[in-house]
Amino acid sequence: MDARRSQRLFDPLFTTETMRGIFSDHGRLQAMLDFEAALARAEARAGLVSTASAVAIGTQCRAELFDVDALAAAAAQAGNSAIPLVRQLTLLVAARDAEAARYVHWGATSQDAMDTGLVLQLCSALTAIDADLTRLSSALAALARVHAQTPLAGRTWLQQGPPVTLGLKAAGFLSAIERHRIRLAEVRGRIATLQFGGAVGTLAALGERGMDVAAALAEELQLALPDLPWHAQRDRVAEVATMLGLLVGTLGKLARDVSLLMQTEVAEAFEPSAPGRGGSSTMPHKRNPVGSAIILAAAVRVPPLVATMLAAMVQEHERGLGGWHAEWDTLPEICALAGGALAHAIAVVEGLQADPAQMAVNLDITHGLILAEAVAMALGEKIGKMKAHELVEEASARAVRERRHLRDVLLADSNVVAHLAPADLERLLDPRRYTGQAERLVARALAARKPEGDGSADA
């Protein structure tokens, strides 16, 4: 292929070799050819085509036998890739068996080949994504387990709040990834469905044997046989796009948090380092969050693509005009970006370098203010919530104004020390003692995690 038309410069950044292979020109052609070969075998089983003809057709259903550039040029004129594919396949079969060539694509329509080919590609793509989701889940579970008690500042509106734990943050992502694993299994069950209806979805060209051929074809491809063809009902493919959009959104959230933790002024956790990773062309000291950047790029690109898939659902009568065509590049791009973002997320989480010492430093930069809630709640038990809140709020403002530690301001307040002893205040202002149910919540997330096998929870 002409290097000027290649995307290899950026492909390694945004997708994986697996996804690139599944949705390559070769992958697309082979998926459609798998449909054509299976159709011939199914029609032989139904008695419409001889076994010899089915074999003759099947032996030519190999993508490497086809001229991709010629197909692409012809598709621009024909309106889709299946029409020139069937023409080339027929010529290849005819060169060896003229009788068999009569039965190439027998009773099918272009969309049958393209949609079922896409389904086969999506099944492969979702299998790969499921394996990577399982790996990411394992990495997050390990991170949550190791850091279940590691305190760091919780942050709301980008401002410090009471402490959480790094394990709890990891557990939050783990819980979301587990939901995506469930969604993926459900979606895969619905998309793994044959598309076969002929011209307008009636299978009229096959007469009384239409449903026999459809059932045999579904069995040959190991796909479900739907109640009826779904040429213009695009909820299945739109659901795949939407599920992947949700996944990329979660990965984007993870990348955002990691990149914020890597900021110079925060420096609490870092992406893994390696020679040539995260450097700058001009600033030798830089350690950029490159994995997070690529994930965030996917999180920007995928939502509009999902919107395209949803908009494309509005199709005309029995065969769509334009909406179907809009899916052809859109859904593969969503899969490619999701697969790439997931691979980067695995690398980030598996190699995440946490700095608990810096987390402890940052917990004290407000001089106790992030634990004002803890003091207010304890004082509220003595004098009532409203009055306690007012006292601690006033003390917090004084601590900021006078650049003093909240502890010292509180100790100087007779209204406070009348109810809370110095030892009480020391305990209340210890970040490690105010992480609430964090450790228990981490344990719940770990217990709910589904293993790779039958989906039952971990013991």
Q: What is the pLDDT of residues 51-65, one digit of tens each?
A: 999 999 999 999 999
| Amino acid 450: pLDDT | 80
Residue 185 within a domain:
yes
Same domain, 177 and 211: no
pLDDT category at 287 given cuts 50, 70, 90 is: confident
Q: Note whether residue 352 is domain-resident.
A: no
Please report which confidence band the pLDDT of residue 454 belongs to, taking 50, 70 and 90 as the band edges: very low
Is residue 65 in some structural domain?
A: yes
- Provide the pLDDT confidence category of residue 288 given band limits of 50, 70 and 90: confident
Residues with catalytic roles: 280, 319
CA 80 – CA 63 distance, rounded (Å): 17
Write the CATH number for 398: 1.10.40.30
- Res 286: pLDDT: 60
For residue 178, being part of any structural domain is answered with: yes
Q: What is the DSSP string of 240-257?
A: HHHHHHHHHHHHHHHHHH
pLDDT at 2: 47
Residue 3 belongs to some domain of the structure: no
Asked if residue 142 and residue 88 are part of one domain, the reply reads no
Residues 203 and 169 in one domain: no
pTM, entire model: 0.92
Q: Which pLDDT belongs to residue 458?
A: 42
Do 447 and 325 have their domain in common? yes
- Beta-carbon contacts of residue 193 (< 8 Å; ≥ 6 apart): 119, 223, 224, 225, 226, 230, 236
Average of per-residue pLDDT values in the chain: 93
Q: Same structural domain for residues 65 and 178?
A: no
Please write the tens of the pLDDT for every residue from 196-208. 999 999 999 999 9
Q: What pLDDT sits at residue 200?
A: 96
Q: Both 98 and 178 in a single domain? A: no
Q: How many domains would you assign to the chain? A: 3
pLDDT confidence bin for 457, thresholds 50/70/90:
very low
Please tell me whether residues 162 and 68 are part of one structural domain.
Answer: no
* Whether residue 283 has pLDDT greater than 70: no
Per-residue pLDDT tens for 95-131?
999 999 999 999 999 999 999 999 999 999 999 999 9
Three-state secondary-structure class, residue 163: strand
Within this chain, do residues 235 and 136 fall inside the same structural domain, yes or no?
A: yes
Q: Does 450 lie in the same domain as 314?
A: yes
270 forms beta bridges with 353
Q: Do 257 and 183 lie in a common domain? A: yes
Q: Is the pLDDT of residue 365 over 50?
A: yes
Owning domain of residue 451: 109-193+230-266+293-347+437-459
- In a shared domain, residues 177 and 83: no
CA distance linking residue 76 with residue 71, whole number of Å: 9
For residue 4, the model assigns a pLDDT of 43
Q: Is the pLDDT of residue 326 over 70?
A: yes
**Is position 321 within any domain?**
yes
- Answer yes or no: is 279 within a domain: no
Is pLDDT at 230 greater than 70 in this prediction? yes
pLDDT in tens, 409-442: 999 999 999 999 999 999 999 999 999 999 999 9
- 333 touches 327 (CB < 8 A): no
Of residues 175, 173, 152, the one with CA closest to residue 163: 152
For residue 65 the two structure tokens come to 């036998």
Q: Are residues 169 and 208 in the same domain?
A: no
In-domain check, residue 272: no
The enclosing domain of 181 has a CATH number of 1.20.200.10
